[in-house]
């Protein structure tokens, strides 16, 4: 897989995206990258073969599809995939999709609000996920950290999930989506041997913010 390794290059792409479409996604992306860096550093300290620059950059650009403006459901994943693929970074393109699907290709029919997504995009996203055999650690860490950071900084998984639910609504399949995050969190915590929150200084402050 080809990933962006140079942090200056990744930062320049994010700045470009922000200029196309300013919004809270910019600060969120930086905080997701910071969270990802801490989790990957912990994994590396336990002997896992990962590159902290690859992880940081991929997290920084996971929402780059937002450059197109506000789009509903997983259209930003599709736009990010297309954009990063055009640049030749297949690994980054993949993460633009996988971060929106914490359960992989399981329950795909319920994993997104497909009614909001054009048919051609839906078909392509499902094809991408079905052709991807198993998430690697970059996919998993970034999918989880996407749910552990907002525009203010690090946050609790429960708080983030409720916040998204309040803004975008929930349905009878939402718990399946949530289970995907907890499965990743449990797996990563078993690998690093501590609660993931111990890696995020000041995380307790998030309980006092609205
Ligand atoms: Fe995100």
3.30.1300, 1.10.3210, 1.10.3720, 1.10.10: CATH of 7-208: 1.10.3210
Whether residue 73 is predicted with pLDDT greater than 90 in this model: the reply is no
CA 196 – CA 180 distance, rounded (Å): 16
Q: Tokens 């990743």 appear where?
A: 184
Structure tokens at 160: 């983030």
The pLDDT value recorded for residue 209 is 81
Phi, psi torsion values for 132, nearest 5 degrees: -105, 110
- Tell me the domain boundaries of the chain: 7-208
pLDDT in tens, 188-206: 999 999 999 999 998 998 8
- Ligand 1 centre from 26 Cα, in Å? 9
The pLDDT value recorded for residue 168 is 83
The pLDDT value recorded for residue 171 is 86
- Ligand 1 centre from 187 Cα, in Å? 21
Q: What is the 3-state secondary structure (H, E, C) of the chain?
A: CCCCCCHHHHHHHHHHHHHHCCCHHHHHHHHHHHHHHHHHHHHHHCCCCCCHHHHHHHHHCCCHHHHHCCCCCCHHHHHHHHHHHHCCCHHHHHHHHHCCCCCCCCCHHHCCCHHHCCHHHHHHHHHHHHCCCCCCHHHHHHHHHHCCECCCCECCHHHHHHHHHHHHCCCCCHHHHHHHHHHHHHHHHHHHCCCHHHHCCCHHHHHHCC
Phi, psi torsion values for 149, nearest 5 degrees: -150, 135
- Ligand 1 centre from 192 Cα, in Å? 23
- Ligand 1 centre from 146 Cα, in Å? 5
Q: Give burial (CB, 10 Å; 0-12/13-18/19+) of 147.
A: buried
pLDDT in tens, 103-141: 999 989 888 889 999 999 999 999 999 999 799 999 999
- Ligand 1 centre from 25 Cα, in Å? 7
Whether the Cβ atoms of residue 38 and residue 200 lie closer than 8 Å to each other: yes
Supply the mean pLDDT for the chain. Answer: 95
Over residues 20-45, the mean pLDDT reads 98
Q: What residues pack around ion ligand 1 (CB closer than 5 A)?
A: 63, 146
- Ligand 1 centre from 60 Cα, in Å? 9
Over residues 37-55, the mean pLDDT reads 98
């Amino acid at each position: 897989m080809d990933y962006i390794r140079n942090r200056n290059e990744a930062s320049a792409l994010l700045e470009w995206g922000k200029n196309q479409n300013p919004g809270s996604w910019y600060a969120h992306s930086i905080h997701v990258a910071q969270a990802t860096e801490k989790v990957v550093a912990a994994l590396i300290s336990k002997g896992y073969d990962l590159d902290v620059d690859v992880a940081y950059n991929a997290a920084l650009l996971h929402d780059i599809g937002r450059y197109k403006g506000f789009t509903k459901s997983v259209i930003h994943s599709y736009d990010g995939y297309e954009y990063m693929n055009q640049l030749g970074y297949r690994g980054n393109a993949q993460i633009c999709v996988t971060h929106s699907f914490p359960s992989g290709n399981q329950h795909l029919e319920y994993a997104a609000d497909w009614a909001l997504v054009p048919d051609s995009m839906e078909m392509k996203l499902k094809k991408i996920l079905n052709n991807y055999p198993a998430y690697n650690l970059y996919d998993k860490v970034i999918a989880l950290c996407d749910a552990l950071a907002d525009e203010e900084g690090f946050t609790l998984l429960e708080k983030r999930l409720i916040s998204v639910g309040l803004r975008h609504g929930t349905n009878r399949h939402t718990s399946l989506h949530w289970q995907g995050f907890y499965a990743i969190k449990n797996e990563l915590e078993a690998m690093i041997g501590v609660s993931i929150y111990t890696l995020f200084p000041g995380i307790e402050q998030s309980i006092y913010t609205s």
